[in-house]
Structure 1
């Protein structure tokens, strides 16, 4: 019961883009794992918290240790939770986004969808996988399906920001702002949503608005730079992130 309580307390921080909350969540889940070392659900939550430390552009002195621990948690979670769609999807997501094992990560996410095609988190993760490494049309399908599975759900900002990202890649900056605005309404503290708001406004020449959003982002991620975001993002298809990075530079985000 103690381990489960620690796990539940950590959940509020799993998708936070605030470093302090991420650290608090990671501390809690590490304690849960120490009590139940083979619990695949706890290990997968630890995987996600560690992944966030890599993909949000935070500069951390223990980055190498985080990657090694994430890899360790992934193998243990997969060993103990092969039939759990959520566990398989989370591990695949971290392999793809954080550890850059693109093919293995994509295959695990595909397997997670086949295990449970109605799992909200798995469907959203499949959207991310296709956005970064696959078909943009399939990414749209998965993100929109996730929204239908849970309209206005607690994690809607993930899907909505993904849809904004797709429109950025396609050069549809006005539509990107629409999706990003909906994401902001769902969660006003999600770093990647700010990237879309800043970049889309900058690409449209709305520099005052872009800089206003940049100032807001810097209050929650004060050390973020274009270089740190580039380093944190999956790079199998670099053209999928470049329009956003270009917009951030236009708005005045420090390059390095």
Structure 2
């Protein structure tokens, strides 16, 4: 089990993971985790225990900040000895899937506290992430500025370039874009593909841009598949895969990836994006009651995400609940006053042209202006 977890964590490019031979020297010993951190030269220590009572097994784990001693993440798993291998796979997936976003959020906090003179390109990238998660016009402007600053420090820092491409692409969907954003986003994403073949996070961002802005669905699918091959337990990678598959007219596959993302990281900052993707996928399947339910959940989780507003509107129109659809459309236009049907036709990210037409038609029926 420990070896599987070490292997899984080692697939995250931004992690420096101690080899099994070093970490196993602490097996069965009562140790001070701060001392372990100092001896191994690491910031975080993952420890756990396995207890057995009859045919039942209980596995517990905790991630500790080795400097402050604070718990970053804890969880417990239970199962039957007869299913030990299935339980082992479940624990590995859950631990690796949860530890990555937990450490990322902790590192974001650390980056915010650093004095300006000690800021690195990676620190600027970390500072940009919560501004992206804010899903606000001001936040997106900050992401542009911070990723540009990171690239001025390190022009070869592909994570910053990938996030910069993604934020430009998403800005179009949110109606916060600049005139050349679609073209620039596509160019930056293709540069990332050439420069970051082994960085799953960069590839995830690039894949979504290639699908949405460049509309090269085959390339986007190949790119997101490579991202998940490099890090199969990345919640945000599966969220990205969900959207790439949705844009590529594969809604059932998309739904599987969105659910996997939420299972790996139930309180992920991108959860609202995944929920919205499930709703959009059900629209494509013409399962409108389910689309509405998921769209409403997405709006509750992330109220400023434009896609979720549109999911709710189309579902209500298709369910012939026109008064509610018109109310939902007014909320959309209050949040995004420059959004129009013309813009939606221009940015149409869907491989399925029939769905794209139904989508625009439903928005028009609700009262979204031409």
| Aligned-partner SS, 2:361 | helix
Q: Is the 8 A contact 1:17 1:190 kept in 2?
A: yes
Scaled by the length of structure 2, the TM-score of the pair is 0.63
TM-score when normalising by structure 1: 0.89
Please state how far the C-alpha of 1:241 moved relative to its aligned partner.
3.1
- The reply to whether residue 129 of structure 1 matches residue 244 of structure 2 is yes
Once the two structures are superposed, the pairs formed by residues 197-212 of structure 1 within 5 Å of their partners are: 197-212=312-327
Match status 1:42 vs 2:160: yes
Deviations 1:142-163 (A, max 9, x none): 1111111111322111111111
- Supply the distance in 2 between the matched residues of 1:14 and 1:111 (Cα, whole angstroms): 24
Q: CA separation of 1:69/1:171 partners in 2, compared to 1, >3 Å: closer, same or farther?
A: closer
The answer to whether the aligner puts 1:230 opposite 2:354 as a matched pair is no
Pair 1:51-2:169 in alignment: yes
1:209, distance to aligned residue in structure 2 (A):
1.6
State the distance in 1 between where 2:348 and 2:184 align.
19
Offset from partner CA, 1:3-51 (integer Å, 9 cap, x none): 3343233212335654343223212211121111111111111011111
- Cα deviation code 1:176-195 (max 9, x no counterpart): 11111111121111100000
Do 1:196 and 1:244's aligned partners in 2 also have CA atoms closer than 8 Å?
A: no
User: Offset of 1:236 from its aligned partner?
Assistant: 2.1
Deviations 1:91-144 (A, max 9, x none): 111011112222212211111121111111111111112111142221111111
**Alpha-carbon distance between aligned partners in 1 of 2:346 and 2:167, rounded to the nearest angstrom:** 18
Q: Structure 2 stretches of 5 or more lacking a match?
A: 1-118
- C-alpha separation in 1, matches of 2:244 and 2:224: 8
**Over the residues paired in the alignment, what is the CA RMSD in angstroms?**
2.0
1:21 aligns with 2:139: yes
Match of 1:95 among 175, 200, 210: 210
Q: Does 1:174 align with 2:174?
A: no
Q: Distance in 2 between matches of 1:215 and 1:20?
A: 22
Q: Distance in 1 between matches of 2:170 and 2:271?
A: 17
Do residues 4 (structure 1) and 119 (structure 2) align? Answer: no
Higher helix share: 1
Q: Which structure has greater strand proportion?
A: 2
Aligned equivalent of 2:179: 63
Bigger RCO (CA 8 Å, 6+ sep): 1
| Residue equivalent to 2:360 | 245
- Name the count of aligned residue pairs: 252
Residue 238 of structure 2 contacts residue 260 of structure 2 at CA under 8 Å; is this kept in 1?
A: yes
Query: 1:220 offset after TM fit, Å?
Result: 2.0
Cα shift readout 1:163-211 (whole Å, capped 9, x = no counterpart): 1112212222111111111111211111000001111112222222212
Q: Which has the larger radius of gyration?
A: 2
1:115 maps to 230
Is 1:154 aligned to residue 272 of structure 2? no
